[in-house]
Amino acid sequence: MLNKEIGRRLRDLRDDKRLKQSELGEIFNRSGRTIGNYEAGDTNLDYEMVLKYAEYFNVTTDYIFGFNPETDKKITVPGLSETVIATVSKDFKGFTAEQIEIIKKLIEEDKAEN
């Protein structure tokens, strides 16, 4: 059952980027069939693939495994580099979605003033 949930999250991430299984397979140096097996929950992800998914889709490994999936997606703010976001995203885990939105607005307002 856990593999099916992980697979659903992986499929959702791929669908969000409008990628075909074969296209993602090329990016990850895997076959489209292997990507399909991950998404169906028929094949377990190894550690390397979990990290590849997390990095490519800009999510935490906790998100992939289903630990608090609503709040574990990394924060994105237009104009901030992924390095800056990655550095501070760990600090946002304790915040509610509403608090994160307020913080994002404050950052955007500050950028607009400068």
Same structural domain, 61 and 87: no
pLDDT band at residue 69 under the 50/70/90 scheme: very low
Q: Residue type for 101, please?
A: E
Instruction: Please report whether residue 45 resides in a domain.
Output: yes
Q: Is residue 36 part of a domain?
A: yes
34 token code pair: 């292997």
* Domains held by the chain: number: 2
Rounded CA-CA distance 64/53 in Å is 8
What is the rounded distance in angstroms from the CA atom of residue 60 to the CA atom of residue 78? 19
For residues 4 and 39, the answer to whether their CB atoms sit within 8 Å is no
CATH number, residue 49: 1.10.260.40
CA–CA distance, 26 with 98 (Å, rounded to integer)? 37
User: Using an 8 Å Cβ cutoff, are 95 and 88 in contact?
Assistant: no
pLDDT tens per residue across span 9-45: 899 999 988 999 999 999 999 999 999 999 998 988 8
Average pLDDT, the chain: 78
Q: Domain check: are 61 and 6 in the same one? A: yes
Range of the domain at 95: 82-113
